[in-house]
Amino acid sequence: MRNASTLFIGVCADMIQRGPHAYHQAGDKYIRALLQGSHAVVPMIIPALFHQLPEVSQTALLSGLDGILLTGSYSNLHPSYYRESEQEGDDAERDPHRDASNWALFDKALALDMPILGICRGFQELNVYFGGTLHHRLHEVAGLLEHREDKSAELDIQYGPAHPVSLSQGGLLADWFEHQHSIEVNSIHMQGVKSLGQGLTVEATAPDGLIEAFSRSASRFLLAVQWHPEWMPHQYPQNARILQGFIDACYQSKRILP
Ligand SMILES: N[C@@H](CCC(=O)NCCCC(=O)O)C(=O)O
C-alpha cells in the first residue's frame, strides 16, 4: 500500500559516458529542489531506458509515482524528432537514450494524466513531442537575444536572473504570481521554441518574444519552463513558487487517483 502522505516524484535521467562506462544520472539540484516544498517527497530517478521496459513494467513504475520532473541537460534533442537534420554548428552533446526514453515516458505519463513539470531541455522535448519545432542556435537568429550563460562566470552568476519574462494574462503562472506582470528568470540555453506544439498555451515570453513557458489545458497539470526554477529556491522565491505549484499538483493528483 502506498504511503498516503509521502509523494514519489519521478525524475528523468540522462545517459552520461564516464570513461568506459555509461551512467543513468539526474542532477543533484533537480533532486534536492523537490525536497524544498511543504510536502514530503522522495525523488525517484527513472533510468534512460524507459522505452526498453516491457509495457507491464512501465505501468508498474508509473503507478508508484505521483508526478514527473523533466530536467535540463547540456545535451540537445536530436533534430530528427522535429523532422529536421543536424546542421553545421550543432556541436552540443547528444543523448539518444534520453530522447527515446522520454518519448516513451511521455506516451505513458500523458495517458495516465500524471502531473508533469518540464525544465529547459525537458521544456524543449515537450514542445517537440506535441509537434512543435526548435531553433538550433538562438544566438544566430536575427532579433533574438543571447540566451546562453557566460560559462566563464561563477555558477551563481550563470544561474542568476538574466532577463524578465512577461506572464500571459489568465495563465497558471499569472495566477501564481498575482499582481506581477513579469518575473525575473535565469537563462542557460542555446536552443528554443521556433513553433509551438499543438494544444499548448503560452504562459510566458522573453523580451525578444521567445516563448519561455507553456501549459496544456488538456492535462491535469503540465507546465514547462525554459529557465531553471530548481536553482536555489531558498534564495529565489519565484523558483520556490514554481516548484511548490508542481508539488501541490502532484499532491492533488495523488488524492484524486486511486
Ligand atoms: N541543451 C539545451 C537545453 C539547455 C539546458 O537544459 N541546459 C541545462 C544545463 C545543465 C543544467 O543546469 O542542468 C539548449 O542548450 O538549449
**ipTM at complex level:** 0.99
pLDDT tens for each residue of 69-126: 999 999 999 999 999 999 988 888 999 999 999 999 999 999 999 999 999 999 999 9
Cell numbers at 9, concatenated: 516524484
**For 157, what's the count of Cα atoms within 13 Å in the CB-facing half-sphere?**
6
Residues marked as catalytic: 120, 228, 230
Instruction: Evaluate if residue 38 carries a pLDDT over 90.
Output: no
pLDDT at residue 18 above 70? yes
User: What pLDDT, on the 0 to 100 scale, is given for residue 147?
Assistant: 98
Instruction: State residue 254's pLDDT score.
Output: 87
CATH architecture entry for 7-256:
3-Layer(aba) Sandwich (3.40)
Q: Long-range pairs for 173-179 at CB < 8 Å and ≥24 separation? A: 173/203, 173/204, 173/213, 173/223, 173/242, 174/203, 176/241, 176/242, 176/245, 177/238, 177/241
20-31 pLDDT, tens digit each: 999 999 999 999
Tell me if 15 sits within 8 A of 22, measured CB to CB. Answer: yes
Report pLDDT for 221: 98
The confidence score (pLDDT) of residue 257 equals 59
Domains of the chain, residue spans: 7-256
- Residue 128 alpha carbon to ligand 1 centre in Å: 16
Residue 41 to residues 38, 161, 193, 222, 231, Cα–Cα distance (Å)? 9, 27, 31, 19, 18
Q: Which residues line ligand 1 (CB under 6 A)?
A: 27, 72-76, 92, 120-121, 188-191, 228
CA–centroid distance, residue 74 to ligand 1 (Å)? 4
Beta bridge partners of 10: 44, 68
pTM beyond cutoff 0.90:
yes
What's the pLDDT at 36? 87
